[in-house]
C-alpha cells in the first residue's frame, strides 16, 4: 500500500482509509499528470498499486461520466483544472485516457487492476528512411533508419518496427545498425507484415536522430510486371531507462518494388539493362536507383543478392521473349 506517505508505516492506511484518500488527493490535486507519470514509471518497475490508485482517483473524479478532471498547481498556488476524456470497458473500469495528445490504454483484470499499459503518442512523430547500398561482399543492403525531434528521457533502449509487405518480399537476413544497435535484430513474419525487434543491454540509449537500426538483405520473388508496395506500419519505441513504451506516429516513403525496374519508372525496359551495365562499369552512380530491383533479377545464393552483369543479361533475354516474367527461361 505504500505510495505517497510511506513514512506512515505499514498498515496505517488500512486502519485509516480516510487518510489514504486525503493523502493521495494531495498529490492528485497538485499535479495530476505527474501523478499518472509516476504511476506508470512505478508500474514498469514492477509496482502496480500506484497506477491502480491513480485510476481509482480518476474514476472518483469522473462521477461516473466519460470525463475526469486533471489538476495542476502553478507556482502562484492557483489550481487549474482540465476535463480529460476517459474510456471504459463493459463493466465500467477505466481502460483509456487521453491527455495532451497522448492516449494511455490500460488492459485491466475483472477487478479493474491494470495488467498492461500502452502509450500512443500522437504528437511523437518518427520518420523511417530506407537507404540502399552495396556492402563489401557485394550484397545489396537496405538500411532502415529512424529520425524524430522528440527526445526520450533515457534514450532508445528497444523497438518493434513493423512493415506491411507482400509475401513476395523475402527477408534473407538482418544485420545490426549503428552502435549500440549493432547486434542483428530478430525478424519475423506476421499477418502480411515483416516485424523487426531489437534491444540493447545499456540503460542509457541514443536519441532518435538519423539512427540506423538495421540493415536488411532481402529478395523479391515477384514478376517483372507486379509492383510490391512496402511501407512502415507501426513503431514502438522503449525508453532505455524507464522501460516506458511509446506507440508513436510513424511516417515513411512507400517503397515500390518491381523486379528489374532499376530506374523506378514503372516498367522493365532495355534502359534498365543499360543502367546496370553502366553502374557495373563505374560510369553511373547508384543514386536514385532501386538496387534491390536490380539485384533480384537473377537470384543469387541465400546469403543475399548481388548486382552482376547476369542481371542485365536476364532483362535483355526477357525483352527478347527468351525468359518469362519471373525471369525463368521459356521452355
Stretch that binds Ca ion, among 38-46, 235-243, 245-253, 262-270 (CB under 5 A): 262-270
CB-CB contact of 124 with 152 (8 Å)? no
Our finding on whether 274 is near Ca ion (CB under 5 A) is no
Residue 163 CB, nearest approach to Ca ion (Å): 24
Instruction: Report in angstroms how near the CB of residue 289 gets to Ca ion at its nearest.
Output: 10
Stretch near Ca ion under the rule CB under 5 A, chosen from 83-91, 113-121, 133-141, 268-276: 268-276
Q: Which residues of 106-145 are buried (b: 16+ CB within 10 A; e: fewer)?
A: bebeeebebeebebbbeebebbbebebeeeeeebbbbbbb
- Of the pair 248, 268, the CB lying nearest Ca ion is at 268
Q: Which of these segments, 57-65, 181-189, 263-271, 318-326, binds Ca ion (CB under 5 A)?
A: 263-271
Looking at the Cβ atoms of 263 and 308, the one nearer to Ca ion is 263
- Distance in Å, CB of 145 to Ca ion, minimum: 26
> Which of 261, 311 has the CB closer to Ca ion?
261
Binding part of the chain for Ca ion, among 9-17, 52-60, 199-207, 259-267 by CB under 5 A, reads: 259-267
Q: How far is the CB of 312 from Ca ion (least distance, A)?
A: 12
CB closer to Ca ion, 272 vs 311: 272
Instruction: Return the number of the residue (200 or 230) whose C-beta is nearest Ca ion.
Output: 230
Q: Name the residue nearer to Ca ion (CB basis): 223 or 241.
A: 223
Alpha carbons 224 and 241: distance in angstroms, whole number: 47
| Shorter beta-carbon distance to Ca ion: residue 150 or 263 | 263
Residue 239 or 272: the one with the smaller Cβ distance to Ca ion is 272
* Dihedral angle, C-alpha 305, 310, 312, 316, nearest 10 °: -130
Q: Does 263 bind Ca ion (CB under 5 A)?
A: yes
How many residues at the interface with Ca ion, by CB under 5 A? 4
Binding mask 182-211 for Ca ion (x = CB under 5 A): ------------------------------
By the rule CB under 5 A, 272 interacts with Ca ion:
yes
Least distance in Å: CB of 180 to Ca ion? 39
Q: Is 261 in the site for Ca ion (CB under 5 A)?
A: yes
Nearer to Ca ion by Cβ, of 219 and 259: the residue is 259
284 in contact with Ca ion (CB under 5 A):
no
Give a three-class secondary structure readout of the chain: CCCCCHHHCCCHHHHCHHHHHHHHHHHHHHEHHHHHHHHHHHHHCCCCHHHHHHHHHHHHCCCCCCEEEEEEECCCCCEEEEEEEEEECCCCCEEEEEECCEEEEEEECCCCCEEEEEEEEEEEEEEEEEEEEECCCCEEEEEEEEECCCCCCCCEEEEEEEEECCCCEEEEEEEECCCCCCCCCEEEEECCEEEEEEECCCCCCCCCCCEEEEEEEEEECCCCCCCEEEEEEEEEEEECCCCCEEEEEEEECCEEECCCCCCCCCCCCHHHHHHHHHHHCCCCCCCCCCHHHHHCCCCCCCCCCECCHHHHHHHHHHHCCCECCCCCECC
Applying CB under 5 A, the span of 23-31, 140-148, 270-278, 301-309 interacting with Ca ion comes to 270-278
- Cell readout for 260 is 528489374
Interacting residues with Ca ion (CB under 5 A): 261, 263, 265, 272
Amino acid at each position: 500500500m505504500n505510495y505517497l506517505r510511506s513514512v506512515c508505516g505499514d498498515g496505517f492506511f488500512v486502519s485509516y482509509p480516510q487518510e489514504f484518500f486525503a493523502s493521495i488527493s494531495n498529490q492528485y490535486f497538485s499535479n495530476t499528470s505527474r501523478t499518472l507519470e509516476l504511476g506508470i514509471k512505478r508500474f514498469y518497475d514492477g509496482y502496480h498499486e500506484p497506477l491502480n490508485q491513480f485510476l481509482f482517483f480518476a474514476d472518483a473524479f469522473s462521477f461516473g461520466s466519460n470525463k475526469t478532471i486533471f489538476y495542476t498547481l502553478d507556482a502562484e498556488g492557483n489550481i487549474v483544472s482540465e476535463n480529460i476524456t476517459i474510456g471504459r470497458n463493459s463493466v465500467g473500469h477505466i481502460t483509456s485516457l487521453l491527455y495532451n495528445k497522448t492516449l494511455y490504454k490500460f488492459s485491466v483484470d475483472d477487478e479493474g487492476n491494470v495488467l498492461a499499459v500502452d502509450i500512443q503518442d500522437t504528437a511523437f512523430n518518427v520518420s523511417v528512411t530506407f537507404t540502399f547500398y552495396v556492402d563489401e561482399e557485394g550484397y545489396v543492403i537496405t538500411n532502415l533508419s529512424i529520425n524524430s525531434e522528440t527526445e526520450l528521457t533515457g534514450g532508445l533502449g528497444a523497438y518493434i518496427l513493423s512493415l506491411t509487405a507482400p509475401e513476395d518480399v523475402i527477408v534473407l537476413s538482418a544485420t545490426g545498425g549503428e552502435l549500440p544497435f549493432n547486434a542483428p535484430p530478430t525478424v519475423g513474419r506476421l499477418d502480411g507484415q515483416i516485424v523487426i525487434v531489437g534491444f540493447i543491454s545499456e540503460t542509457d540509449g541514443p536519441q532518435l536522430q538519423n539512427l540506423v537500426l538495421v540493415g536488411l538483405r532481402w529478395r523479391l520473388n515477384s514478376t517483372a510486371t507486379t509492383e510490391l508496395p512496402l511501407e512502415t506500419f507501426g513503431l514502438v519505441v522503449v525508453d532505455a531507462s524507464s522501460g516506458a513504451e511509446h506507440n508513436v506516429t510513424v511516417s515513411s516513403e512507400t517503397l515500390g518494388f518491381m523486379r528489374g525496374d532499376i530506374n523506378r519508372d514503372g516498367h522493365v525496359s532495355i534502359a534498365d539493362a543499360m543502367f546496370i551495365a553502366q553502374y557495373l562499369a563505374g560510369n553511373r552512380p547508384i543514386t536514385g536507383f532501386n538496387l534491390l530491383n536490380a539485384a533480384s533479377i537473377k537470384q543469387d545464393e541465400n546469403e543475399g543478392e548481388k548486382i552482376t552483369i547476369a542481371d542485365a543479361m536476364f532483362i535483355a533475354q526477357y525483352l527478347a521473349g527468351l525468359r518469362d516474367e519471373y525471369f525463368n527461361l521459356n521452355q
